[in-house]
Amino acid sequence: MIKITELEKVYRTEEVETVALNKLSIEVKEGEFVAVMGPSGCGKSTLLNILGMLDDPDDGSFVFNGIEVAHFNERKRADLRKNNIGFVFQSFNLIDELTVFENVELPLIYTGVKTAERKKRVEEVLDKVQIMHRRNHYPQQLSGGQQQRVAVARAVVNHPKLILADEPTGNLDSNNGNEVMQLLTELNEQGTTIVMVTHSEHDARYSHRIIRMLDGQTVTENILI
Amino acid sequence: MFNNYFKIAFRNLWKNKAFSFINIAGLAVGMASAILILLWIQNEMSHDHFHEKADRIYTLNNRDKFNGDLWAWSWTPKILGPTVKQDYPEVEDAVRTNNGTFLLSVGDKHLNAQGYFTDTGFLSMFSFPLVNGNISTALNSINKIVITQEFSKKLFGNDNAMGKMIKIDSTDNFTVSGVLKDLPNNTKFDFEYLLPWSYMSKIGYDDSSWGNNSVQTYVLLKNNVSQKTFDAKIRNITIDHTKNTGDQSTTQVFTQKLSDQWLYSKSENGQYVGGRIETVKLFAIIAAFILLIACINFMNLSTARSEKRAKEVGIRKAVGAQKRLLVIQFIGESIILAFIAFILAVLVVELSLPGFNDLVDKKLYIDWSNVSYWLFAIGFILFTGVLAGSYPAFYLSSYKPVKVLKGTFKAGQALITPRKVLVVLQFTFAIALIICTIIVERQIQYAESRDSGYVRDKLVYTFIQGDVSKHYDLIRNELIAGGAAVSVTKSMSPITQRYSDGWGWSWPGATEDDKKTDFVRMASDADFAKTLGVEILQGRDIDIYKYSTDSTAMMLNQSAVKIMRLKNPVGAVVEADGRQWHVVGVVKDFIYESPYEKVEQLAIFGPKSWFTTIHFKLNPANSTQKDLQLAETVFKKYNPQYPVTFNFADESYALKFEEEKRTGTLAALFAGLTIFISCLGLFGLATYMAENRIKEIGVRKVLGASVIGITSLLSKDFLKLVIISLLVATPIAWWAMYTWLKTYTYHIPVEWWVFVLAGLLSIAIALLTVSYQSIKAAIANPAKSLRTE
């Protein structure tokens, strides 16, 4: 599904040049659950952003579903993203002014799904993450775990092929964290590819494979199953 | 999707009430100001455009050289209208108007009112519809009168006026042959009734002189006649008709479109080049700036608090929103805001229209029955929304989701941010307006303090009407004997106005060129200088009661003596208007026209000329009220039919400052509004600044900074902007005021302290505005603010 080859990303400010990705090559197969680990600043978040097409690489190749996307413009990336990729962030990133229902509905709006169909699909997914009873609440009225479940619901409502999770349990206690990991595992079992960045060895154990990074390169890959 | 946008927009408005209030209030005030000005502009621009035949109606004008300059004016000879109609096949019709003020009586009701003598074709040339009566016959015989609906109400109440009798000047009876719909608020015509020209001929006001320019002439050109070719044909009409008459004229005739006359009436080099259009343009600029300043508030506050919405942008982009959709969303939001502000603005406009109408002396209103007003409203909302929303929309939607979603996003602290530029723009405009306001006020004070050359205190005048002329000697004697007045004089016009001027005069030593010198005419029977308090420099006052030869006496003012180069003016003989006048005195220049201009040459004629006005000086021994009561009894006794109206010279003199005072008040009003809107924005910015720097303030306080230190730290940034604005505004305002003052002969210099004062004022206002937030931030407990991280 994902094949990146010799990917490079350098951040430049006036005085400092930081190499975030240094000729990185990774492959992720469809249906895989991959955890990316490494110390802060190793480039894992940059990798995730490029995979999510929120950022573009300076050099190298990024093939997504057989299409070279490394040099797509913003509009094309937005198109590809909205139909294929769901995001789960450490800080949930729900829109405070929208209710649970409306937050989850958002990706469907941008893919042009009709109102009735939207309602059906949002309710389905809210049911699945067991937050249906809170559908009319605003994010600040929910606990962290509940907020992250909403965020997961939003990530999957569009049936994306790929979910990118950036430290999804980073802001949660262990109970809530486990619930969310459980949810991701279920999604993976239903066929969704997952790439997750994490600091937690515990969470990483939910995945099939752990990619360890240092200074913009992979150092080891552990296959867990 | 739009549903989602609406939800977000309204919830954002509701959640950030202070921000919404500042934005909406600022925008509403800005929009209300712009709407008021636009209503005024619309009224000005539409003057006399409503006539169905407007594209073919032209005014006839004269052009000639006086005192070395080429002048254009719209007063024409009475004979011109019938002549062009008869001799030029291009002319479909020609109509003249001549102003007249008469006493109109119905039973016991007597009203002094202004009307026009006009030709039969008036009602078919212009689109002033009749409510009752027939356009073609309404003015076709000598004793018919057409009145406006409003005037009909004054005379006849709610009765149908058609066919009823009105007595004019207690002598002639007229039958109402038509009732006009009241004149619209966008016409230069101003009358309450129309009388047939034939009546004017009957009472001896008509003449066929080519040299007496006293009426307005309008022509309706046939279809397909071009103005240019017609102008070429009529240019020499007056010159040709005065050939070999001994009174050869050099005056050329030309046309001006009626619909242009209102805006273009200022003559320069024989052309109409400007006039009210200049004010219209100026106010259009002011309206645009006030709206822009209100929009800038929106831009600044939206971008200042953008960090709060950056997350939303990031999420939306992450779930697939394209930049275009986000731009549409944000512009949509500002259009919603503009819509709410517009509703408030219309409320403000409706509430302030009566006051504004008083101020600008108009009858403006919002015509909700007119579709174009609705279309304009929609256009105005969209325009404002897009103007205010476009910059924030592009600014917000260009955020990179990568940066904002990590939660570490902070907006940049660039040296010159667009936000600072916008604040400078706002304050530049505000400061420039403050400077202009002060200078306009100073100029009015300066002109008011100029010595008028006569004593206005207790000086009263009234117009000669009805039997006053016949019993003038008795009235004069009784006013003095009865103790109402100490001195009385008859004159050609009130001292505050010029009614007449003329040229072609000669005097000892005069050259052929001197015939082109234009003199203002006034007149007196006796006691002119005594009554008005004008100083006599040489010779004596005219006094027909003492010297019977004074019927052809003349007094000159200083300027006249100078331009005539008379060494010994007293005793000189001046030939003017076909008569010889002997100069008996010279008076010091007094201001009869504009207090801003040089006093022009003037001659005061003896009783062989004509009179319209009686001036009298009230008896200082009595109260003014008692003097007026006594005077009224005298006038009532000899002229019982007419209502008595006394005018005070000081009030009439004050009217000369009306236009400038209006300009001054409007400048002050808009300066105030601009400052208000700008300060709203500044307050909002200060709020966000205090919020954003909360951690910095906490750290500084922990390290020992004082409240004063922090307050000044926070206020300093804004002060810098205001000072830059002052530097930008100074040359602009200086240039504008220099140009404005130059249009007056008597004017103040542009003084440096005005700029200092305006600068100090704006700094004080800006400091007051930001200090609340600065002090609040400075006295906050640092333990609390540091915990926010």
User: Which residue is listed with tokens 């009602």?
Assistant: B123
User: Residue A35 forms beta bridges with which residues?
Assistant: A196, A210
Contact indicator for B605, B438 with CB cutoff of 8 Å: no
Q: Is the CB of residue A78 less than 8 Å away from at least one CB of chain B?
A: yes
> Measuring CA to CA, which residue among A11, A13, A20 is closest to residue A41?
A20
Chain B residues with CB under 8 Å of A94 CB are 315
Query: Which pLDDT score is estimated for B502?
Result: 83
| Integer-rounded Cα radius of gyration of chain A | 17
Query: Which pLDDT score is estimated for A225?
Result: 63
- The alpha carbon torsion through B93, B94, B97, B98 (nearest 10 deg) reads -140
Q: Is the CB of residue B12 less than 8 Å away from at least one CB of chain A?
A: yes
Q: Read off the pLDDT of residues A42-54 as tens digits, 9 standing for 90 and up.
A: 888 889 888 988 8
Q: Is the CB of residue A14 less than 8 Å away from at least one CB of chain B?
A: no
Q: Is the CB of residue A109 less than 8 Å away from at least one CB of chain B?
A: yes
Contact indicator for B148, B183 with CB cutoff of 8 Å: yes
* Alpha-carbon span B473 to B467, nearest angstrom: 12
pLDDT tens by residue, chain A, 225 residues: 899 999 998 888 777 888 888 999 999 999 999 999 999 888 888 898 889 888 888 999 999 988 898 888 878 888 888 888 988 888 888 888 889 999 999 888 888 889 999 999 999 999 988 899 999 999 989 998 899 889 989 988 988 999 999 888 888 888 888 988 998 999 999 999 999 999 999 999 999 999 999 988 888 877 776
Strands A85-88 and A162-166: parallel
Query: Which pLDDT score is estimated for B202?
Result: 87
Cβ neighbours, 10 Å, residue B612: 18
In this prediction the pTM is: 0.81
Q: Is the CB of residue B314 less than 8 Å away from at least one CB of chain A?
A: yes
Chain A residues with CB under 8 Å of B401 CB are 54
* Alpha-carbon span A85 to A186, nearest angstrom: 17
CB spacing of A95 vs B321 below 8 angstroms: no
Of B319, B323, B401, the CB nearest to A106: B319
- One-character DSSP codes across A144-162: HHHHHHHHHHHHHTT--SE
Taking residues B678-695, what's their average pLDDT?
Answer: 82
> Measuring CA to CA, which residue among B549, B684, B568 is closest to residue B608?
B549
> Measuring CA to CA, which residue among B524, B563, B517 is closest to residue B540?
B524
How close B12 gets to chain A, by Cα (Å)?
7
* Alpha-carbon span A12 to A26, nearest angstrom: 24
- The alpha carbon torsion through B112, B114, B120, B124 (nearest 10 deg) reads -130
How close B321 gets to chain A, by Cα (Å)?
6
Contact indicator for A87, A81 with CB cutoff of 8 Å: no
Among A93, A115, A156, pick the best mutation site for testing chain B contact (most B Cβ within 10 A). Answer: A93
Taking residues B147-173, what's their average pLDDT?
Answer: 91
Res. B1 pLDDT band, cuts 50 70 90: low
Chain A residues with CB under 8 Å of B394 CB are none
Expressed in percent and rounded to 5, the helix, strand and coil fractions of chain A are: 35, 30, 35
CB spacing of B312 vs A97 below 8 angstroms: yes
* Alpha-carbon span A108 to A157, nearest angstrom: 7
How close A140 gets to chain B, by Cα (Å)?
13
Strands B165-168 and B172-180: antiparallel
Chain Cα centroid distance, residue B338: 30
Most confident of B194-208, B297-311, B323-337, B347-361: B347-361
Chain B residues with CB under 8 Å of A54 CB are 317-318, 400-402, 405
User: Which residue is listed with tokens 């003017």?
Assistant: B576
Helices (H), B483-548: 528-532
> Using N-to-C axis directions, what is the helix angle for B323-360 and B371-397, rounded to 10°?
140
Query: Which pLDDT score is estimated for B785?
Result: 65
Residues 6+ apart with CB under 8 A from B256: B58, B59, B61, B74, B264, B272
How close A108 gets to chain B, by Cα (Å)?
9
* Tokens read off for B502: 């003329």
Taking residues B429-450, what's their average pLDDT?
Answer: 89
Q: Is the CB of residue A132 less than 8 Å away from at least one CB of chain B?
A: no
Of A74, A93, A111, the CB nearest to B314: A93
Q: Is the CB of residue B328 less than 8 Å away from at least one CB of chain A?
A: no
Residue B545 confidence (pLDDT) above 50: yes
Chain Cα centroid distance, residue B579: 41
Query: Which pLDDT score is estimated for A29?
Result: 93
Of B316, B323, B324, the CB nearest to A106: B316
Helix (H) or strand (E) holding B334: helix B323-360
Q: What is the DSSP letter of A13?
A: -
Chain B residues with CB under 8 Å of A105 CB are 4
* Residue type for position B250: T
Helix or strand or coil: residue B417? coil
Q: Read off the pLDDT of residues B640-664 as tens digits, 9 standing for 90 and up.
A: 888 888 999 999 888 888 888 888 8
User: Residue B307 forms beta bridges with which residues?
Assistant: none
List strand residue ranges (DSSP E) for B55-129, in order: 57-66, 69-73, 76-77, 91-106, 109-118
Q: Is the CB of residue B322 less than 8 Å away from at least one CB of chain A?
A: yes
How close B786 gets to chain A, by Cα (Å)?
21
Residues 6+ apart with CB under 8 A from B412: none
Q: What is the DSSP letter of B453?
A: S
User: Which residue is listed with tokens 């500084």?
Assistant: B700
> Using N-to-C axis directions, what is the helix angle for B2-15 and A100-110, rounded to 10°?
140
How close A81 gets to chain B, by Cα (Å)?
6
Helices (H), chain A: 44-51, 74-84, 100-110, 115-128, 144-156, 174-189, 201-204
* Alpha-carbon span B222 to B216, nearest angstrom: 20
Chain A residues with CB under 8 Å of B1 CB are 109-110
Contact indicator for B89, B219 with CB cutoff of 8 Å: no
Residue B389 confidence (pLDDT) above 70: yes
Query: Which pLDDT score is estimated for B416?
Result: 60
Query: Which pLDDT score is estimated for B410?
Result: 57
User: Which residue is listed with tokens 């006093």?
Assistant: B599
* Alpha-carbon span B340 to B346, nearest angstrom: 10
Size of interface A-B (CB pairs under 8 A): 76
CB spacing of A83 vs B15 below 8 angstroms: no
How close A208 gets to chain B, by Cα (Å)?
26
Q: Read off the pLDDT of residues B482-533 as tens digits, 9 standing for 90 and up.
A: 999 999 999 999 999 888 888 889 999 999 888 888 899 999 999 999 999 9
User: Which residue is listed with tokens 């004596």?
Assistant: B540
Chain A residues with CB under 8 Å of B7 CB are 97-98, 102
Expressed in percent and rounded to 5, the helix, strand and coil fractions of chain B are: 50, 20, 30
How close B738 gets to chain A, by Cα (Å)?
49
Helix or strand or coil: residue B253? strand
Closest residue in B to A50 (Cα–Cα): B402
How close A54 gets to chain B, by Cα (Å)?
6
**Cβ burial, residue B530 (10 Å; 0-12/13-18/19+):** middle
Query: Which pLDDT score is estimated for B789?
Result: 40
Q: Is the CB of residue A74 less than 8 Å away from at least one CB of chain B?
A: yes
Q: Read off the pLDDT of residues B724-771 as tens digits, 9 standing for 90 and up.
A: 999 999 999 999 999 989 888 889 999 899 999 999 998 998 888 888
Of B4, B318, B323, the CB nearest to A87: B318
Q: What are phi and psi of B71, to 5 degrees?
A: -120, 150
* Alpha-carbon span B540 to B529, nearest angstrom: 9
CB spacing of A52 vs B318 below 8 angstroms: yes
